[in-house]
Chains A and B, each alone.
Chain A
Amino acid sequence: DIQMTQSPSSLSASVGDRVTITCRASQSIITYLNWYQQKPGKAPNLLMYAASSLQGGVPSRFSGSGSGTDFTLTISSLQPEDFATYYCQECYSGPCSFGQGTKLEIK
């Protein structure tokens, strides 16, 4: 099965900062990579799909890139509501898998 590794596991940043989260797959997944945001006690929210496509209703400060094994999620200017945990997910072959998550905290 494909393993997904996110880095960093946690990150402290300030409102207005530009932040990048990385996700690496154990083998090529082309662009079958999705990103989610999860706030405490809430269901995950789909942010990006197919590596770089912005889900409807998601602010344009979120962007995604990458292909093959290496992917990034970038938040161009952090807003207070962006402090949450972020997960990447692959669904390249039959099974899917999530990264371990990146907790984004206020500095």
Chain B
Amino acid sequence: QVQLVESGGGVVQPGRSLRLSCAASGFTFNNYGMHWVRQAPGKGLEWVAVISYDGSNKYYADSVKGRFTISRDNSKSTLYLQMNSLRPEDTAVYSCAKDHSSGGARLGLDYWGQGTLVTVSS
């Protein structure tokens, strides 16, 4: 069965960096685009970034552009999110999610991890 397990969250001071990981299993990782989505406590879903199945295309939300970098290692079936210059407003649960369709079509996110909490506070 498909499993997505995030790690790397924690408490970090404003301006510092953190790298999140998402270990995938149960599907052919290198066939699917992958996303990061975050949810601040008590708030709605906010899409963060996407990377294509082969890593050639990456897109970001305006709120993180220039500070966050999405990447993947298909040999390890692992997705990453490098977060630099963190701000208090980046505090949220960060979840990875898998594209429903293979290739490049964006037809929803069908599997999600349970998320890892990032708290940005001095």
Contact = CB atoms under 8 A, between A and B. Distances in A.
Interface of A: 1, 32, 34, 36, 38, 43-44, 46, 48-50, 53, 55, 85, 87, 89, 91-92, 94-101
Given A34-B107, A34-B109, A96 B47 contact: yes
Interface stretch (B15-23, B56-64, B72-80, B81-89): B56-64
B46 A98 contact: yes
A97 B107 contact: no
Contact of A43 (B59, B106, B113): B113
B26 interface: no
Interface residues of B, number: 23
Given A43-B115, A44-B109, A101-B45, 4 more contacts: A55-B100, A85-B44, A94-B50, A98-B47
Contacts of B114: 43
B106 A32 contact: yes
